[in-house]
């Protein structure tokens, strides 16, 4: 490990960036350095601009993926290398505003029935039931399930925050069946390696295979279940603030996008066409 890489890693650790973020940032900076075959210390705003054009035009990266590189380079040059630059010289890409894919309740059932493994079906049911990220559900511990208070404790979710979410009665029954079959002791969903939680990558792979088997036209990922959880709560009349807390969003603006995919209000809204005073054909 180079001194610069070590220093950047330590800077991220001091600021308590998540392990996943540290890994992504180091990877992006290494790719930037490899492209020019020079140390980042020898590169500047012009090289960064050329690299962004390369990622956009040649690699065809999405704006969200491109912005991870921008964040990594901003951290490197501002925090680790302490370059006195105007950060506008490393601009963010404007993100596309896309609506999340949401399953109907019937499609959720259809998808979950396609998951053959009891363990991974329980993982995905838990993700939908409580609106958890895949990294959160795989790192649940047996002690996090509080059947007396009917809550689940989510430790150190995104942003390093703890929170509580509801424990569904149906989920509790399923978890009890799962526990009798697998007898987990520490991690609720242990992985193939002893004393380690299930891999998020494996959950995504199982999810993808179930999607192919299910026959659904909508592409399903573990995050699709989280989107569906939030949208179904909103359609059932739950308020945005409560949904924000359950999802662990820092800002209610992140939660508000689900108002664009909730269809219950749309169904109850009358089109002005239906109110015209007469027929539109002779």
Residue 182 a catalytic site member: no
CA distance linking residue 187 with residue 60, whole number of Å: 39
CA distance linking residue 259 with residue 261, whole number of Å: 6
Residue 249 a catalytic site member: yes
Q: Which of 266, 202, 220, 207 is nearest to 100 (CA)?
A: 220
Residue 257 a catalytic site member: no
Give the pTM: 0.75
pLDDT above 90 for 111: yes
Residue 226 a catalytic site member: yes
Residue 270: pLDDT band with limits 50, 70, 90: low
pLDDT above 90 for 61: no
Domains annotated on the chain, with CATH:
3-89 (1.10.150.130), 105-265 (1.10.443.10)
Residue 211 a catalytic site member: no
Given the residues 119, 158, 218, 257, the one annotated as active site = 158
Given the residues 74, 121, 139, 226, the one annotated as active site = 226
Residue 153 a catalytic site member: no
Given the residues 51, 178, 211, 258, the one annotated as active site = 258
pLDDT above 70 for 264: no
Residue 280: pLDDT band with limits 50, 70, 90: confident
Q: For residue 271, what pLDDT is reported?
A: 65
Non-local CB neighbours of 134 within 8 Å, separated by 6+ positions: 127, 200, 203, 204, 222, 223
Given the residues 133, 139, 227, 232, the one annotated as active site = 133
DSSP 8-state code for residue 104: -
Given the residues 7, 209, 218, 223, the one annotated as active site = 223
Residue 269: pLDDT band with limits 50, 70, 90: low
């Amino acid at each position: 490990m180079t001194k610069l890489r070590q220093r950047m890693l330590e800077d991220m650790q001091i600021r308590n960036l998540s392990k996943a973020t540290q890994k992504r940032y180091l990877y992006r900076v290494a790719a930037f350095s490899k492209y020019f075959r020079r140390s980042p210390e020898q590169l500047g705003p012009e090289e960064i601009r050329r690299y962004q054009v390369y990622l956009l035009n040649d690699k065809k990266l999405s704006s969200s993926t491109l912005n991870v590189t921008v964040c990594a380079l901003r951290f490197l040059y501002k925090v680790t290398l302490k370059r006195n630059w105007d950060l506008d010289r490393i601009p963010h890409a404007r993100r596309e505003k896309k609506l999340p894919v949401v399953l109907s309740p019937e499609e959720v059932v259809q998808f979950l029935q396609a998951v053959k493994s009891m363990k991974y079906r329980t993982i995905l049911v838990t993700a939908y039931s409580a609106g958890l990220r895949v990294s959160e559900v795989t790192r649940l511990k047996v002690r996090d399930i509080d059947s007396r208070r009917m809550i689940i404790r989510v430790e150190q979710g995104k942003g390093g925050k703890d929170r509580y979410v509801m424990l569904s009665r149906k989920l509790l029954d399923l978890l009890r069946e799962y526990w009798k079959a697998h007898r987990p002791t520490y991690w609720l969903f242990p992985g193939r390696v002893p004393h380690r939680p299930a891999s998020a990558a494996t959950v995504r792979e199982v999810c993808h295979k179930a999607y192919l088997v299910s026959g659904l036209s909508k592409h399903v990922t573990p995050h699709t279940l989280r989107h569906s959880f939030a949208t179904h709560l909103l359609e059932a009349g739950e308020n945005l603030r409560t949904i924000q807390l359950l999802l662990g969003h820092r800002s209610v603006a992140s939660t508000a996008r689900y108002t664009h995919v909730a269809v219950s209000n749309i169904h109850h809204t009358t089109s002005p066409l239906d109110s015209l005073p007469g027929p539109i054909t002779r």
